Amino acid sequence: MNSLNFHCQIDEDMFSWAIFLTRFIAGIVLLYIATGSLLYYREFLYNAAALGWPMPVALAIGLSVSLLFLGLLLILGWFTRLAAGLSVLVTAAAGVLFFAGNFNKIYVALLLLLLAALLPATLLGPGKISLDYNHALRRAKKTFRG
């Protein structure tokens, strides 16, 4: 019997563009969520206090600011794996806080889509179109100087 030996041929440039676009769109979504939580900060802070979370003001502001920075890190591609992994958790916490503990089906769908979009960047890395790649390239050239 013949054994089949298939190899997956991946165009690295197209892979990098695909990862960049998913990071960019996910970063824009995170910026949108952070902007919404900062614009409606009174409800956000009131819900944090109503849920009985410790230090509600610091926690609510910390979640909003962390969403803002995680979105920017994803767009730029800096600390991509860490930012992609943390953004799903922080977005879930911000959703629970924003909706005062009531799980909204649309928000759960958004979290699943965000997870699906950020899973390749978390597992496979940021691709060539990122600050992580440029930093690794500079360090490799610095190490291998003659």
For 74, other C-beta atoms within 10 Å of its C-beta total: 29
**Domain, as residue range, for 54:** 13-143
Query: Minimal CA–CA distance to 48: which of 91, 96, 92?
Result: 96
The DSSP letter of residue 102 is P
Average pLDDT in the 107-125 region? 88
Percent pLDDT > 90 in the chain is 38
85: in domain: yes
1: in domain: no
pLDDT tens per residue across span 26-51: 999 999 989 988 898 888 888 888 88
17: in domain: yes
4: in domain: no
7: in domain: no
Q: How many domains does the chain have?
A: 1
pLDDT tens per residue across span 3-27: 777 777 778 889 899 999 999 999 9
3: in domain: no
- Considering the entire predicted model, what is its pTM? 0.84
Query: Minimal CA–CA distance to 23: which of 145, 122, 138?
Result: 122
Is residue 44 within 8 Å of 97, Cβ to Cβ?
Answer: yes
117: in domain: yes
pLDDT tens per residue across span 51-72: 888 898 898 889 999 999 999 9
8: in domain: no
- The pLDDT mean for the chain works out to 87
Residues across the chain: 146
